[in-house]
Amino acid sequence: MLKRFFKISFVLIVLITFSSCKSSKVTGTGTKEKSARVVLRTFEDNLADFKTVSGRIKAGYKTEEDSQSISITYRIEKDKAIWMSAKVMGLLPVAKVYITPDRFQYYEKINGTYFDGDFSMAKEFLGVEVNFENLQNLLIGRPMYELKRNQMLFDDNAYVFLQNIRSVLAYSAIIDSRQFEMKSQSLQNVKNESLKVNYSRFQSVDKKKFPGKLLMTAKKEGEVILIDLDYRSVVFDEELTFPFSIPNNYERLEL
């Protein structure tokens, strides 16, 4: 089950659904671009600027047949590393994950298995390159892809950016018009496989905005999977280490 959890978690982080929107009125090009420039600048100014962030996450996983929860200690060095250590019931260590711009690794103790590879699995699944920055930005409430000013419209008190990624993925990002926080990010591929990520709450830590809670809803081959991440603690700019070593005699997985 843990193998399935981490495989799905990785796919969920790189697969997001295209959000449906009501019909919207788009203003003239000049006004729209000027408004989008202000929106993006305000949004960027509100985001946490940090070198490192760490803390604890309560994570939940649910399908029609199964549900479970784990506690995660996380450490992120911006643009360099993502490290996570998972425990069951907050006590029993069961897995570790270590991700860098060119490598994705994890191991789990229950079945004694590990994975050591890169982001090519995501490319095979989605049909486009998915990189470390895409994953990092999703976790910290930033856009996975660069938002284009000429693709913005205003709808239901939110700024909506609709874009296509290399004609294979439909991407959207929705920014709240009052707090200028990310409300959701989403992608859908040509196979109609999708995941929707809602940022239900942001928190202010040292006057810096950071996600407080997010919910991912994935749909693939008729199956619906829910993963929620609740950031229980957030600490910025401490010196971090990323201890990771795959135990001997573990079996390598091919995801």
Rg (CA), the chain: 18
Q: Do 217 and 19 contact (CB within 8 A), yes or no?
A: no
Note the pLDDT of residue 121.
66
32 or 44: which leads in pLDDT: 44
16 or 102: which leads in pLDDT: 102
pTM: 0.83
- Given pLDDT bands bounded at 50, 70 and 90, which one contains residue 175? very high
Note the pLDDT of residue 16.
28
Q: Do 1 and 66 contact (CB within 8 A), yes or no?
A: yes
Share of the chain above pLDDT 70, in %: 82
Long-range contacts for 144-150 (Cβ within 8 Å, ≥24 apart)?
144/16, 144/171, 144/173, 144/185, 144/187, 145/171, 145/173, 147/40, 147/173, 149/32, 149/33, 149/36, 149/37, 149/40, 150/29, 150/32, 150/33, 150/36
For the chain, the average pLDDT equals: 81
The two tokens of residue 246 are: 């795959």
Most confident of the following: 16-30, 102-116, 195-209, 227-241: 227-241
Please compute the mean of the pLDDT values over residues 161-171 and round it to a whole number: 82
Strands 67-77 and 113-117, by their bridges, are unpaired
- pLDDT, one tens digit per residue, over 180-212 is 999 999 888 877 777 788 999 999 988 889 999
Note the pLDDT of residue 13.
43
In 63-78, which positions are buried (b, 16+ CB within 10 angstroms) versus exposed (e)? Answer: eeeeeeebbbbbbbbb
- In 3D, which of 229, 221, 160 has the Cα closest to residue 198? 229
- pLDDT, one tens digit per residue, over 78-130 is 999 999 998 887 678 888 999 999 998 889 888 899 989 887 766 665 555 67
Note the pLDDT of residue 27.
40
User: In sequence order, what E strands does the chain have?
Assistant: 52-62, 67-77, 81-88, 92-100, 103-108, 113-117, 152-155, 158-165, 169-176, 182-189, 194-205, 208-220, 223-236, 251-252
